[in-house]
């Protein structure tokens, strides 16, 4: 038996399509599926905006490498908001975090926050699998100081891997109930999704939402 009701689990999902080969027809299918499943939002590439849907619209910036100038990330975020994005998931410069340059990480997040002010929801992708525990904590603190609304584990594209229960729990302990925690990357089945929620995730990034909600496995597990 599933411990989380389907409707409740669906309400935590950003139904996601960020594959570089995606077409507008693919995105249209994603939108209709999200509405059918009752997911919280869709997450699509900025080039696909605007979209017509009854659910919230999320997009990404600095994706997937994070190695963009902060001004470019900020411009991308502002453009997406102007095209109807309710939420922006930005990728930090992971190299700065690995080098211990957390002030610079905070400053780039703050620049994007200024470009996409509230009520836009700003999620900060930290690539937790590529960071030490100490770096995860420091980056989460920088995100909170910069005014972010969520911290997020992964792009789902990094070779180091995606979300882990350990990282989600550490991120939740760091931000408490002040920020959301989004788990994404490698969540391919119902058990993994529920484990991330139990660890502290308040949002899930999934490409295989139907399979997860139906208790099966499938998709790329973004």
Known active-site residue 19 = no
**Residues β-bridged to residue 123:** 89, 150
Q: Tell me how far apart the alpha carbons of residues 64 and 20 are, in angstroms, rounded to a whole number.
A: 10
Q: Which of 14, 73, 123, 182 is catalytic?
A: 182
- 182 classed as catalytic: yes
Residue of 14, 73, 123, 152 marked catalytic: 152
CA distances for 170 relative to 15, 36, 47, 134, 149, angstroms: 24, 33, 33, 10, 17
Residue 89 a catalytic site member: yes
- Among 14, 89, 123, 149, which one carries the catalytic annotation? 89
Q: How far is CA 186 from the centre of its chain?
A: 13
Q: How many helices (H) and strands (E) does the chain have?
A: 9, 8
**What CA–CA distance (Å, rounded) separates 143 from 138?**
9
Instruction: Give me the active site residues, please.
Output: 89, 152, 182
């Amino acid at each position: 038996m599933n411990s989380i009701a389907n409707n409740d689990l669906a309400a935590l999902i950003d139904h996601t399509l960020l594959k570089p080969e995606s077409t507008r027809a693919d995105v249209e299918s994603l939108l209709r599926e999200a509405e059918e499943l009752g997911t919280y939002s869709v997450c699509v590439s900025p080039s696909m905006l605007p979209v017509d849907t009854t659910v919230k619209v999320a997009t990404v910036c600095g994706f997937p490498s994070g190695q963009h100038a902060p001004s470019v990330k900020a411009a991308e975020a502002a453009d997406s908001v102007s095209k109807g994005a309710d939420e922006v998931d930005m990728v930090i410069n992971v190299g700065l975090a690995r080098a211990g340059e957390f002030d610079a990480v905070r400053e780039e997040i703050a620049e994007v926050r200024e470009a996409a002010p509230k009520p836009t929801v700003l999620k900060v992708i930290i690539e937790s699998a590529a960071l030490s525990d100490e770096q995860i904590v420091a980056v989460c603190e920088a995100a909170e100081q910069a005014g972010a609304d969520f911290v997020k584990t992964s792009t789902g594209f990094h070779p180091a891997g995606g979300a882990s229960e350990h990282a989600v729990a550490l991120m939740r302990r760091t931000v408490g109930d002040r920020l959301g925690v989004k788990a994404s990357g490698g969540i391919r089945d119902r058990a993994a999704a529920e484990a991330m929620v139990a660890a502290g995730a308040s949002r899930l990034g999934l490409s295989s939402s139907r399979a997860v909600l139906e208790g099966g496995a499938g998709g790329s597990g973004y």
